[in-house]
Structure 1
Amino acid sequence: MAKNTTKLHGKDLRQLGFTDDKQISLALDILDQRELRRLDKGSALALLRDIKADPFKYVRDPTWRPLAQELVPQPSREVRLSPEVKDYRRYGDSFIEDGARRQMDTAMQLPITIDGALMPDAHQGYGLPIGGVLAVDNAVIPYGVGMDIGCRMALSVFDVPPRYLEQRRAELKKLLHHHTRFGGKEVFKDPYDDAVLHRSEFKEIAVVRGRREAAINQLGSSGSGNHFVEWGVVDITAEDNELNLPVGPYLGLLSHSGSRGLGAAVAQHYTKLAINRCPLPPEARYLAWLDLDTQEGQEYWAAMNLAGDYASACHRDIHRRLSQALGEKPLAKVENHHNFAWKEELADGREVVVHRKGATPAGRGVLGVIPGSMTAPGFIVRGRGERDSIQSAAHGAGRRLSRTQAKQQGSEGELRRLLRDQGVELIGGGLDEAPMAYKDIHQVMEHQRDLVDVLGSFLPKIVRMDAGSGGKSKYGGE
């Protein structure tokens, strides 16, 4: 039998510049697959030459991905932190726990860090603390954005007097039951077909392509933990306000949720990738970044923006369903997000990537909602564009107790009494989200007077959260 002269050997690949035995073995194994055996020797060599010259072009190719990933340049092992902590502004310093300060100090030692700030609601998280704002040079830190990408607040204000909350309480409670979904199991039988579901990223990026079906099913639903949908009283106090609303009370609908399973999948995938690409000391491990000049960095940036837009679509659906059920069109809406990264300019004109993990954008004239707890008011605010805070503000009251501590230190009876005394009805929820677990929102707002102007408030009255087990809530409601 004549010898097959088209088959490549290791020496052929070495002549192309392949020096690693693992890479050579991978290339030969792939070429031995049935669909590639028909390639003549010249075509095979040309293909391998192209892959070696630009492996980034092939990292999403299902056939050549293993080889391309081996060929992608790796950073030198162990990225060193700066011995000095860059200066940054802390708001309500005595109000912030040591763990959050230590995490922010570490973030300010990254070689890519340019500026930072810590908000008064700050508490310890993973990587960047919750309430941390970090400006870096041409890079993005997946865990500096966080797991729940694009998590946001959305408020609708209705031309309905607040007495409606007492006169029609049972009806409003039913609307929350029928038109909201929470946690990992509750979905709508008739999910809304939002344009975001047809974005090209769902075809172009593998990690989100695999989440599209779940994203369709979860559209309009809310997460567990501190996510909620609630009816309450909006009180507009500033005569000069961008909402064009007269001073006075209104019925309001406030929601807090993020990008659901889609955002979590993006965060997990690219955090793992960043940690492998950018090995840091143990204390900084979750601050690993992706350079925006790389394909991985560009992929994450596109996936992050998709997840943020998906989170916004979920809120649109929540407010659409409840507005229609109520039979009222909102007079005004306010929406803002956190757990995101933005390309912005600093005062000196430098373009940076600003991470706001649990921090609200507060550029001059930018509107937002900063919630308190289920028994404390939230505030409608207008940003003042403060440079020292990198045009940011707190995103809520901030946790005073961890979830475990809240469960250990609180009691069901105490929570029931507090809710009754404040005239709040809770559907779902649990001790881990009890008001006692949170800081005093009024103190938080006092520490950021230079960052935002208050236009009004929102006081919750009927709150729905995930019931955890999916059964009836122990704290009122079903």
Structure 2
Amino acid sequence: MEKTINGNDLLALGYPEGTVIGVALKANRKRTGFTKEGMLAQYKNVLAAPESFIEDALFGALAFALIEKANEKPEDFIALNTTPNAYAVYGRDHIEEGARKQMEVAMQLPITVAGALMPDAHQGYGLPIGGVLATKNAIIPYGVGVDIGCRMALSVYEITEDFYFENEAKFKRELITHTKFGAGHGFHGQYKSDHAVLESPIFKDHSFIKNLKDKAWSQLGSSGGGNHFVEFGIMEFADADAELNIPKGRYVALLTHSGSRGFGATVAGHYTKMAKEVCKLPEVARNLAYLDMNTDLGQEYWIAMNLAGDYASACHEIIHTKMEKALGATVLAKVENHHNFAWKEIWNGEEVFVHRKGATPAGKGVMGIIPGSMTAPGFLVRGKGEVHAINSASHGAGRQMSRTQAEKSITATEMKAVLKDHGVTLIGAGLDEAPMAYKDINLVMESQKDLVTVVAKFTPKLVRMADDGSRED
């Protein structure tokens, strides 16, 4: 099979890094009648004389992008600070260089007040996953992320560990019955859920949101693809917790991870595009385009983002309510926290917008859940309010392999063996979510012991994830 053309091939021809590469690759996907060598020869011709291809059906957009790039002047862009502001890094030895470089660019934005990088950090788009950024009177849509308001939700049941193992088949049956996974997937007809969030007047009054209610309704109570999950496990409280009023012991618990589904992704895509149009940043910072909160556009996004967060919470509430009723369980405690969001907070005496893209709020006394992987433990934590971390902690273990790398280097046999060794039953999920693709959660927790106190440990036993290869995370 003929190898495809990638960005490195175009860079080797002399193409500039950035958006032009993306435009060129779009042309490659539409190519007809060209071999790889023939297509590369055409790319070379377009680069040498783009004005000759303006009317070309296949290469016209690329030619225009090259001409536009050549005519760019430094004064056309918002200037970045010459050197990045200092920022705190936790678990530096376990964080890839790409994530650190992205954070350094974010720290050069003229709106940046403070930043921190969590120990699960890895490279993303714009702000790295695990990046925390405080800004002055502005919000970065890609600093929030595509899956707005993605969150963890935990229900601790008054059910013993022994009862779970004696009735594992029932737990599996209810898990399959009451959950639905995958990017674009949802419910129809009588299977749709209702929730007060759908009655929000924003669905009527907001110029962009009003067209998304049907999408939101169909996916309400479902989970996305990628690393999203619903799982049963054993929650161990080594000591009684007075604030949660839970005695020392081992309890069955339900843990869920998902966000605002297609609704949130559509909001993110729209406002990221708008931000890039009104906020012209140099290529290296293009995905950090921001919206001024004194503008109508900034306020529109703020309203839409908050509704997407409420919607994500409603999805979890529906799943947890269904499971509670199906099991006839008494809930001892519920804990929920979100990431991929921007909060209005006071930092060093001034009002800022704190972006936590894949980072958990960890203000003093604030409860949170930090999962490991499908075989590694997760932790119920209480924040310490560390100011240098901007009151934040990691949102999980973090990836040590890209999805592509995991799919190439991990076999199904290896994954099954690891699951068996840990006594975990898996429904769905691909090799890209194999436990080996993630960092060691114990190293991550050790790196942030100044940020959170561990309250209890969660050990996964029955895990469901998307099995269609979708990656809505």
* TM-score where L is the length of structure 2: 0.82
For 1:317, the equivalent position in structure 2 comes to 318
Moved over 3 A (4+): none
Structure 1 residue identity aligned to 2:120: D
Change (3 A) 1:445 1:241: farther
Structure 2 residue identity aligned to 1:443: L
For 1:111, the equivalent position in structure 2 comes to 110
CA–CA distance in 2 between the matches of 1:325 and 1:446? 38
Q: How much does 1:178 deviate?
A: 0.5
Q: C-alpha deviations, 1:306-347, integer Å up to 9, x for none?
A: 00000000000000011100011311101000000001011x
Q: C-alpha deviations, 1:60-113, integer Å up to 9, x for none?
A: xxxxxxxxxxxxxxxx83111000110000001111100000000000000000
For 2:87, the equivalent position in structure 1 comes to 88
Q: C-alpha deviations, 1:172-226, integer Å up to 9, x for none?
A: 1110110001112342643222111011111122322111001111110000000
Q: Is the 8 A contact 1:107 1:128 kept in 2?
A: yes
CA–CA distance in 1 between the matches of 2:378 and 2:242? 17
Are 1:230 and 2:235 counterparts?
A: no
CA–CA distance in 1 between the matches of 2:92 and 2:225? 30
Q: Is the 8 A contact 2:361 2:393 kept in 1?
A: yes
Change (3 A) 1:158 1:442: same
Q: C-alpha deviations, 1:253-298, integer Å up to 9, x for none?
A: 0000000011001100000000000011111001000000000000
Q: How much does 1:469 deviate?
A: 6.0
For 1:6, the equivalent position in structure 2 comes to none
Note the 1:297-316 alignment, pairs <5 A: 297-316=298-317
Query: Does the residue aligned with 2:156 lie in a helix, a strand or coil?
Result: strand
Say which is worse superposed, 253-262 or 326-335, in terms of deviation: 326-335
For 1:195, the equivalent position in structure 2 comes to 196
Note the 1:5-404 alignment, pairs <5 A: 77-183=76-182, 184-187=184-187, 189-346=190-347, 348-404=348-404
For 2:465, the equivalent position in structure 1 comes to 465
CA–CA distance in 2 between the matches of 1:191 and 1:245? 34
CA–CA distance in 1 between the matches of 2:294 and 2:155? 39
Structure 1 residue identity aligned to 2:289: A
CA–CA distance in 2 between the matches of 1:99 and 1:240? 40
CA–CA distance in 1 between the matches of 2:243 and 2:390? 22
For 2:428, the equivalent position in structure 1 comes to 428
Structure 2 residue identity aligned to 1:224: G
Structure 2 stretches lacking a partner, 5+ long: 1-74
Q: Is the 8 A contact 1:363 1:386 kept in 2?
A: yes
Query: Does the residue aligned with 1:158 lie in a helix, a strand or coil?
Result: strand
Query: Does the residue aligned with 1:159 lie in a helix, a strand or coil?
Result: strand
Q: Is the 8 A contact 1:238 1:454 kept in 2?
A: no
Query: Does the residue aligned with 2:336 lie in a helix, a strand or coil?
Result: strand
Structure 1 residue identity aligned to 2:351: E
Change (3 A) 1:99 1:241: farther
Q: C-alpha deviations, 1:217-238, integer Å up to 9, x for none?
A: 1110000000000010011124
Structure 2 residue identity aligned to 1:450: D
Structure 2 residue identity aligned to 1:167: E
CA–CA distance in 1 between the matches of 2:136 and 2:329? 46
CA–CA distance in 1 between the matches of 2:242 and 2:87? 32
Q: Is the 8 A contact 2:186 2:220 kept in 1?
A: no
Query: Does the residue aligned with 1:114 lie in a helix, a strand or coil?
Result: strand
Q: C-alpha deviations, 1:331-387, integer Å up to 9, x for none?
A: 1101000000001011x3111000000000000000000000000000000000000
Query: Does the residue aligned with 2:165 lie in a helix, a strand or coil?
Result: helix
CA–CA distance in 2 between the matches of 1:460 and 1:239? 21
Q: C-alpha deviations, 1:237-260, integer Å up to 9, x for none?
A: 243442110011000000000000
For 1:5, the equivalent position in structure 2 comes to none
For 2:405, the equivalent position in structure 1 comes to 405
Kindly report the root-mean-square deviation, in angstroms, between the aligned alpha carbons of the 2 structures.
1.1
Q: Is the 8 A contact 2:231 2:460 kept in 1?
A: yes
Q: Is the 8 A contact 2:226 2:466 kept in 1?
A: yes
Q: Is the 8 A contact 2:429 2:469 kept in 1?
A: no
Q: How much does 1:142 deviate?
A: 0.3
Q: C-alpha deviations, 1:109-156, integer Å up to 9, x for none?
A: 000000000000000000000000000000000000000000000000
Say which is worse superposed, 189-198 or 370-379, in terms of deviation: 189-198
Structure 1 stretches lacking a partner, 5+ long: 1-75, 471-478
Q: Is the 8 A contact 1:211 1:261 kept in 2?
A: no
Say which is worse superposed, 369-378 or 320-329, in terms of deviation: 320-329
Give the number of equivalent residue pairs.
394
CA–CA distance in 2 between the matches of 1:217 and 1:302? 21
For 1:45, the equivalent position in structure 2 comes to none
CA–CA distance in 1 between the matches of 2:363 and 2:186? 36
CA–CA distance in 1 between the matches of 2:458 and 2:242? 15
Structure 2 residue identity aligned to 1:418: V
Q: Is the 8 A contact 2:381 2:456 kept in 1?
A: yes
CA–CA distance in 2 between the matches of 1:204 and 1:434? 43
CA–CA distance in 1 between the matches of 2:460 and 2:254? 9
Q: Is the 8 A contact 2:407 2:432 kept in 1?
A: yes
CA–CA distance in 1 between the matches of 2:344 and 2:180? 33
CA–CA distance in 2 between the matches of 1:247 and 1:372? 22
Say which is worse superposed, 317-326 or 180-189, in terms of deviation: 180-189
Structure number with bigger Rg = 1
CA–CA distance in 2 between the matches of 1:465 and 1:167? 23
Structure 2 residue identity aligned to 1:374: M
Query: Does the residue aligned with 2:387 lie in a helix, a strand or coil?
Result: coil
Change (3 A) 1:241 1:450: farther
Structure 2 residue identity aligned to 1:163: D
CA–CA distance in 1 between the matches of 2:213 and 2:186? 17
Structure 1 residue identity aligned to 2:178: H
Structure 1 residue identity aligned to 2:217: I
CA–CA distance in 2 between the matches of 1:299 and 1:437? 38
